[in-house]
Every structure is written in structure tokens, then in C-alpha cells.
């Protein structure tokens, strides 16, 4: 039903009750991340609105009316109405900084064609080729965490991790640590200002954003031009290679400008979302040792975890994707701790939703988080229960719009396969090679802006660091545990069954290769490295009473 009313008139249909909450740019009140925005109000605020006014209600954003939409059926209508009922509408600064060639700025046929070119970047074949790099980046990161004598701020470090993943996997850059740090800082400057007021004056956020974007583009261009040299001797390609090839295949060779904008957009979309999900995954594994143990059981059952070590050769894409329980864990993390709260659109025509008329020109926000939180298909909706996604229960089978961490419709997340692969590898590495615990007494509070993350994971020196890794040995905790273990007379196998592994001097994360050596020695009858007189540093985890 198309109404001839002006956008500012009260709509027909059910009365739109109004609550006036204005979010402001630059004040941190409106924060927009990746391809989606989230507003200041917390979920409690929206829950009370929903109870009062229903699943489609009016609120305000930046002084403009906004319709907030919850519930599978309503969300389905919005998402399936892309280009027809609704379209994306970015703030001016975002459009300019991401560039005219970005997916964010394309609609209709151009959007469809661009997605087709991108599809190959996330194909099964491409993911297979990225896997070794993903694993390498994760392993390196865990090694750095483990050697850090101080507690690690997981959210901040996860941001670094997801940035490294994006730079290495998507761009295939091989940069020094120093260059990586510089790139990361520049990228953060870009992200911080992508949603600034579009005032191009010295010292404005917008100008800083433009400068950061230009620096990033320069770096990317240099790397692209040097690419033939860099690829020598590589046995797999990166996303940039795949993108260039895919564009050629689709008869639309990309210009340098298009390539630069595309890569920045991909890193931008991957950065905060993946960092949020990684942090939530780690938190849930910490909170639910039984889940972690069940994951380890699955890895053992599939021969991926043997004698307390991950068997490198077993980590192939098909193996990883066939791990059913792991899949349930990742799904449950993304359901309960959905990184992106929703997506924003603008109505291109007046239409009706759940008895409410939405006038042309109004903003519409479909809420992923609220939809997850209120969906009747999920039993005991607030509980972290990965088994709800098991084959027997399959609570998400009721209809795809009840569960949508990656959005839906023609603008659904392009990188969802890459994101889930990354999270799976992270979970495997954590379960198979790490030992970790909370350094604080309690779990931090979770906030939902700019993406969902623990409060204390925000930047800031201790004591603001919250979800942290800790060197147990330094706290004397391990010693206590070792004593207890000694008293209980636990064998190595018993300990492994409980998911307890040797902890190296460096800290929580054990030195896996050294443990492998040690265990191999025990199993295959090779001489014990200590008896061989190897220096302790080379063996790593062996001062644990072995
Ligand atoms: C756990 C991690 C991730 C989550 C939860 C997530 C979530 C989402 C959501 C909800 C949307 C749709 C937004 C809307 O409807 O407006 C989206 C779009 C998008 N995502 Fe992701 N994302 C993740 C990781 C990634 C990664 C790793 C990449 C790429 C490397 C990526 C690339 C994109 C792109 C390019 C779009 C825009 C698609 C379009 O406009 O056609 N995302 N993502």
C-alpha cells in the first residue's frame, strides 16, 4: 500500500508511538561499524519499547525518525525488499571515505555485479588456499599472548589479530612488524573517523579519516604494483589475487582505484566484527569449561587432537567444516553475542510492516540482536547452549530469519564463510594448544557499541584491562594446582581428558612443539629430552613435574 502522505506526517495504520532519543555524531553516541550501525540505546531500553509498542516502533536517530524492526517475519520483509522497498543509505562521510566503487555505495545492478566479482574471493577453493595463512596468523598471535608476562587485553588484541588476518589473508602482504603496526594505527584512524561529521577542515575527524584513507590507499597501491615480485614462490594466492582474476573472468577488469577501495572496504567489514566474535568465543570457552572439554573430545575423536597435540596435517578445510560440535559452538556464540546489532536502510516507498505504515524516506533499522533475543524458536533464549544447533534439536531450522548474525537478503555478509572459518580455527587452536583463564575475579560487563565487546576490553591501561590471559605460574596458581594434582595422583592421560595440559614458563599457552616432543618421547620410547641434556629453553613445557 503506497501512501501519498509526506514523510513527516504521522503514518497510518497502527499508531507509531514515539520516544525521543537523539544520538549524536562524534560524541560516541552513534557508533557505526562495518556495514552496519548501532545506536546508543542498550537492549534493555529497546526491550521496554518493544513491550510497549510492539515489534515495529518509532525512535529517533540524529534527529531523524527511525523505525526499529524486530522479529523474523518483519526482518524478512525488510531484507527481501532491498532495492524495492528499502535501500542502503550511508552518512556522507562514510560514503566518501569508502569511495564510490565500494559495495556500500552501490545499489541495484551495479551492486549485484560487484558481489559476483567478490563471490570468488570467498569460494570454497579460495578459503582452502587461505587456511594455512589463517592458521599461521592465529598461531603466531597465541604465541605472542603466551609469552606476554602481563595479562592480555583480549578485545584489543583480537582487533590486532583480525587486522593481521585481513592484511595477510586478504591482501597477501608480507610486512615487517613495524610496518604492520603503522598500518594498524593508520587503519584505526580511518575507522575512528569513518562516521565523522563531513566537515573538511584541518583537525576535523573527517580530514583525519581522509588522510588515513589516502595513506592506506598509497600502501595498497605500492603492494599491488610489487605483487608479481611478492608472489614468487607462493603456492597459494591471496584474496587480492583472486579478486583481480575474478574481475577478469567477469569481463570487468578492475582499475587500481577500484582495487584499493575494495580492499579497504573488506578489511573494514572484517575488522571489528571478527574481533568482537573472537572475544566472545574466548569468553564463552572460559565461562563454560564443559563446552571446551566437549570440543576437545570432538577434536580427539576426529584425530585432530592426539596426545595433547594438534596434528597439523588434519587441519584441512573439509575436516574443519565437518566438526559438528564446533559448528554449534560458533553458531551459539554468534546468536547470543551477535557482533552486529543490525542494519540500516531507508524506505524508497511507503510500505506496511506488522500493521505499521513506514513512510518513504524514513530510516529503517532491522535488529539482529533483538530478533535473536525474542525469537520463540530458541528455548531458554538467554542460555549459552551450543547443543540447540545440534542435528537432533536444530532450533534454527524454523526459518532462516530467526537466526541472522550475518544479515540476509542481497546484502548478506559476503565474508561469512571466511569469518566462520577464522573462528573455527581459533577455537581449535585454543582448545588444542592452549590453556587460558580469566585474570580478573569476575567476567566483565558486555556492551554493544560500537560492536559487542566486554567493557574493560576498551582501550586503556590497567586497571581497565579486563578479560585477560594470565600467566598462571606467576600467580602461583599453577603450583597450587600441581600440588593438588600430585596429591590426587592424576596421570597424564587423566589430565588430558580433563583438558589440562602442560604450561610452559612463558605463561598460559604452552609451547606445543616442545610438548609434542616430550609426549612423543614418552609414547614412542624416544629418549626423554631432559635425560638427553637439552637446555630447558629448548624443551619449553617440561618443568611441570614430568
Ligand atoms: C563474525 C564476523 C562477521 C559478522 C557478524 C558480520 C556481519 C555482517 C552483517 C550483519 C552484514 C549485513 C549488514 C546489513 O544488512 O546492512 C554484513 C555485510 C558485509 N560483510 Fe560481514 N560480518 C562478519 C565478517 C565479515 C568479514 C570477515 C568480511 C570480509 C572479509 C565481511 C564482509 C562484509 C561485506 C563486504 C558486507 C556488505 C555486503 C553488501 O553490502 O553486499 N564480513 N556483515
Q: Give the whole-angstrom CA distance, residue 149 versus residue 171.
A: 32
Of 334-343, 357-366, 448-457, 493-502, the poorest mean pLDDT is in: 493-502
Predicted confidence at residue 471, as pLDDT, reads: 32
Q: Catalogue the long-range contacts made by 398-404 (C-beta closer than 8 Å, 24 or more residues apart).
A: 399/72, 399/76, 401/72, 401/73, 401/75, 401/76, 401/79, 401/371, 402/72, 402/371, 402/372, 402/375, 402/377, 402/378, 403/331, 403/335, 403/372, 403/375, 403/377, 404/75, 404/368, 404/371, 404/372
Predicted confidence at residue 212, as pLDDT, reads: 95
CATH of domain 110-438: 1.10.630.10
Predicted confidence at residue 522, as pLDDT, reads: 22
Which has more pLDDT, 29 or 48?
Answer: 48
Q: Which atom of ligand 1 is nearest to the CA of 404?
A: 10
Identify the band that residue 273 occupies on the pLDDT scale cut at 50, 70 and 90. Answer: very high
Q: What is the whole-number distance in angstroms between the Cα of residue 35 and the centre of ligand 1?
A: 6
Residues 6+ apart with CB under 8 A from 418: 122, 127, 130, 169, 270
Whether 538 has a pLDDT exceeding 60, the answer reads no
Predicted confidence at residue 515, as pLDDT, reads: 25
Predicted confidence at residue 334, as pLDDT, reads: 97
**What mean pLDDT comes out for the span 472-493?**
39
What is the pairing mode between strands 64-69 and 363-367?
parallel
Q: What is the whole-number distance in angstroms between the Cα of residue 391 and the centre of ligand 1?
A: 26
Q: Which atom of ligand 1 is nearest to the CA of 412?
A: 12
Q: Which of 242, 413, 426 to mutate to test the pocket of ligand 1 (most atoms within 8 A of CB)?
A: 413
The reply to whether omega before 271 is within 30° of 0 (cis) is no
Which has more pLDDT, 456 or 269?
Answer: 269
Predicted confidence at residue 53, as pLDDT, reads: 67
256-287 and 239-249 helices, crossing angle to 10°: 130
The closest residue, in CA terms, to atom 18 on ligand 1 is 413
Q: How many CB atoms lie within 10 A of CB 473?
A: 18
Residue 309 marked as a ligand binder:
no
Of 480-489, 496-505, 530-539, the poorest mean pLDDT is in: 530-539
CA distances from 249 to 6, 113, 238, 244, 252 (A): 46, 12, 17, 9, 8
Is 407's C-beta closer than 6 angstroms to any atom of ligand 1? yes
Give the tens place of pLDDT for each residue, 512-524: 222 222 122 222 2
Predicted confidence at residue 455, as pLDDT, reads: 61
The closest residue, in CA terms, to atom 14 on ligand 1 is 343
The reply to whether omega before 419 is within 30° of 0 (cis) is no
Q: Which of 32, 167, 282, 415 to mutate to test the pocket of ligand 1 (most atoms within 8 A of CB)?
A: 415
Which has more pLDDT, 540 or 405?
Answer: 405
Which has more pLDDT, 442 or 330?
Answer: 330
Predicted confidence at residue 46, as pLDDT, reads: 60
Q: Give the whole-angstrom CA distance, residue 410 versus residue 111.
A: 9
**What mean pLDDT comes out for the span 383-409?**
94
* SS3 state of residue 152: strand
Q: Which of 113, 371, 406 to mutate to test the pocket of ligand 1 (most atoms within 8 A of CB)?
A: 406
**What mean pLDDT comes out for the span 438-461?**
62
Whether 444 has a pLDDT exceeding 90, the answer reads no
CA distances from 41 to 206, 241, 245 (A): 25, 41, 44
Q: Which of 9-18, 68-77, 243-252, 394-403 has the highest mean pLDDT?
A: 68-77
Q: Give the whole-angstrom CA distance, residue 386 versus residue 467.
A: 22
Predicted confidence at residue 150, as pLDDT, reads: 82
**What mean pLDDT comes out for the span 518-539?**
25
Identify the band that residue 158 occupies on the pLDDT scale cut at 50, 70 and 90. Answer: very high
Which has more pLDDT, 506 or 208?
Answer: 208
The closest residue, in CA terms, to atom 32 on ligand 1 is 415
**What mean pLDDT comes out for the span 374-386?**
95
Whether 98 has a pLDDT exceeding 90, the answer reads yes
Is 371's C-beta closer than 6 angstroms to any atom of ligand 1? no
Q: What is the whole-number distance in angstroms between the Cα of residue 407 and the centre of ligand 1?
A: 8
Q: Which of 87, 122, 91, 79 is nearest to 106 (CA)?
A: 87
Q: What is the whole-number distance in angstroms between the Cα of residue 462 and the centre of ligand 1?
A: 32
**What mean pLDDT comes out for the span 469-496?**
39
Predicted confidence at residue 301, as pLDDT, reads: 94
Q: Give the whole-angstrom CA distance, residue 41 versus residue 37.
A: 12
Predicted confidence at residue 451, as pLDDT, reads: 65
Whether 345 has a pLDDT exceeding 90, the answer reads yes
Q: What is the whole-number distance in angstroms between the Cα of residue 254 and the centre of ligand 1?
A: 22
Residues facing residue 469 across a β-bridge: 152
Is 343's C-beta closer than 6 angstroms to any atom of ligand 1? yes
The closest residue, in CA terms, to atom 36 on ligand 1 is 413
Predicted confidence at residue 410, as pLDDT, reads: 95
Predicted confidence at residue 509, as pLDDT, reads: 31
Q: How many CB atoms lie within 10 A of CB 363?
A: 21
Whether 76 has a pLDDT exceeding 90, the answer reads yes
**What mean pLDDT comes out for the span 251-278?**
91
% of the chain beyond a pLDDT of 70: 70
Q: Which of 34, 90, 110 to mutate to test the pocket of ligand 1 (most atoms within 8 A of CB)?
A: 34
Instruction: Give the helix ranges, DSSP H, for 476-511.
Output: 477-488, 492-497
Give the tens place of pLDDT for each residue, 50-69: 676 679 998 877 667 889 99
Whether 73 has a pLDDT exceeding 70, the answer reads yes
Is 330's C-beta closer than 6 angstroms to any atom of ligand 1? no
Of 341-355, 435-449, 481-495, the poorest mean pLDDT is in: 481-495
% of the chain beyond a pLDDT of 90: 43
- Structural domain spans, the chain: 110-438, 470-543
Mean pLDDT of the chain: 74
Predicted confidence at residue 49, as pLDDT, reads: 66
Of 24-28, 254-258, 362-366, 497-501, the poorest mean pLDDT is in: 24-28
Measured in degrees and rounded to the nearest 5, phi and psi for residue 386 equal: -55, -30
Three-class secondary structure assignment of 316-368: CHHHHHCCHHHHHHHHHHHHHCCCCCEEEEEECCCEEECCEEECCCCEEEEEH
Identify the band that residue 496 occupies on the pLDDT scale cut at 50, 70 and 90. Answer: very low
Predicted confidence at residue 450, as pLDDT, reads: 59
Amino acid at each position: 500500500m503506497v501512501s501519498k502522505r509526506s514523510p513527516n506526517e504521522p503514518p497510518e495504520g497502527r499508531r507509531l508511538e514515539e520516544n525521543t532519543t537523539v544520538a549524536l555524531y562524534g560524541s560516541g553516541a552513534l557508533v557505526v561499524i562495518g556495514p552496519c550501525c548501532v545506536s546508543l540505546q542498550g537492549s534493555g531500553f529497546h526491550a521496554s519499547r518493544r513491550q510497549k509498542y510492539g515489534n515495529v516502533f518509532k525512535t529517533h536517530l540524529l534527529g531523524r525518525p527511525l523505525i526499529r524492526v524486530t522479529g523474523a517475519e518483519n526482518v524478512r520483509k525488510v531484507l527481501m525488499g532491498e532495492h524495492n522497498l528499502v535501500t542502503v543509505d550511508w552518512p556522507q562521510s562514510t560514503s566518501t571515505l569508502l569511495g564510490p566503487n565500494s559495495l556500500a555505495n552501490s545499489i541495484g545492478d551495479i551492486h549485484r555485479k560487484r558481489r559476483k566479482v567478490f563471490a570468488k574471493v570467498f569460494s570454497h577453493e579460495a578459503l582452502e588456499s587461505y587456511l594455512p595463512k589463517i592458521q599461521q596468523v592465529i598461531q603466531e598471535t597465541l604465541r605472542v599472548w603466551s609469552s606476554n608476562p602481563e595479562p592480555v587485553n583480549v578485545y584489543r588484541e583480537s582487533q590486532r589479530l583480525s587486522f593481521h588476518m585481513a592484511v595477510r589473508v586478504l591482501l597477501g602482504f608480507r610486512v615487517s612488524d613495524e610496518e604492520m603496526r603503522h598500518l594498524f594505527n593508520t587503519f584505526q584512524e580511518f575507522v575512528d573517523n569513518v562516521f565523522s561529521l563531513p566537515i573538511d577542515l584541518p583537525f576535523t575527524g573527517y580530514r583525519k579519516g581522509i588522510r588515513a584513507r589516502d595513506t592506506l590507499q598509497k600502501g595498497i597501491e605500492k603492494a599491488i604494483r610489487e605483487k608479481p615480485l611478492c608472489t614468487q614462490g607462493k603456492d597459494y594466492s591471496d584474496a587480492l589475487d583472486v579478486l583481480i582474476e575474478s574481475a577478469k573472468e567477469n569481463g570487468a577488469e578492475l582499475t587500481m582505484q577500484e582495487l584499493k577501495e575494495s580492499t579497504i572496504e573488506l578489511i573494514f567489514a572484517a575488522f571489528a566484527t571478527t574481533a568482537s566474535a573472537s572475544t566472545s568465543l574466548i569468553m564463552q570457552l572460559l565461562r563454560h569449561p564443559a563446552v571446551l572439554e566437549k570440543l576437545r573430545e570432538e577434536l580427539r575423536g576426529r584425530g585432530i587432537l592426539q596426545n595433547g597435540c594438534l596434528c597439523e596435517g588434519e587441519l584441512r578445510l573439509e575436516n574443519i567444516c565437518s566438526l559438528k560440535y564446533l559448528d554449534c559452538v560458533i553458531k551459539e556464540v554468534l546468536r547470543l553475542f551477535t557482533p552486529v546489532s543490525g542494519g540500516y536502510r531507508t524506505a524508497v516507498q511507503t510500505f506496511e510492516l506488522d500493521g505499521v505504515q513506514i513512510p518513504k524516506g524514513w530510516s529503517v533499522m532491522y535488529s539482529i540482536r533483538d530478533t535473536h533475543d525474542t525469537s520463540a524458536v530458541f528455548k531458554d533464549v538467554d542460555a549459552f547452549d551450543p547443543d540447540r544447533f545440534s542435528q537432533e534439536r536444530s532450533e534454527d531450522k524454523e526459518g532462516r530469519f530467526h537466526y541472522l548474525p550475518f544479515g540476509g537478503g542481497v546484502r548478506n555478509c559476503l565474508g561469512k564463510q571466511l569469518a566462520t572459518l577464522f573462528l573455527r580455527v581459533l577455537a581449535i587452536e585454543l582448545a588444542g594448544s592452549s590453556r587460558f583463564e580469566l585474570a580478573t575475579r569476575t567476567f566483565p560487563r558486555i556492551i554493544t557499541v560500537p560492536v559487542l565487546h566486554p567493557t574493560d576490553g576498551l582501550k586503556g591501561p590497567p586497571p581497565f584491562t579486563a578479560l585477560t590471559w594470565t600467566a598462571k605460574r606467576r600467580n602461583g596458581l599453577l603450583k597450587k594446582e600441581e600440588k593438588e594434582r600430585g596429591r590426587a595422583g592424576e596421570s597424564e592421560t587423566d589430565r588430558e581428558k580433563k583438558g589440562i595440559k602442560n604450561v610452559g614458563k612463558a605463561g598460559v599457552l604452552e609451547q606445543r612443539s616442545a610438548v609434542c616432543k616430550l609426549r612423543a618421547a614418552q609414547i614412542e620410547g624416544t629418549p626423554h629430552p631432559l635425560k638427553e641434556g637439552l637446555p630447558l629453553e629448548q624443551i619449553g613445557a617440561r618443568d611441570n613435574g614430568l
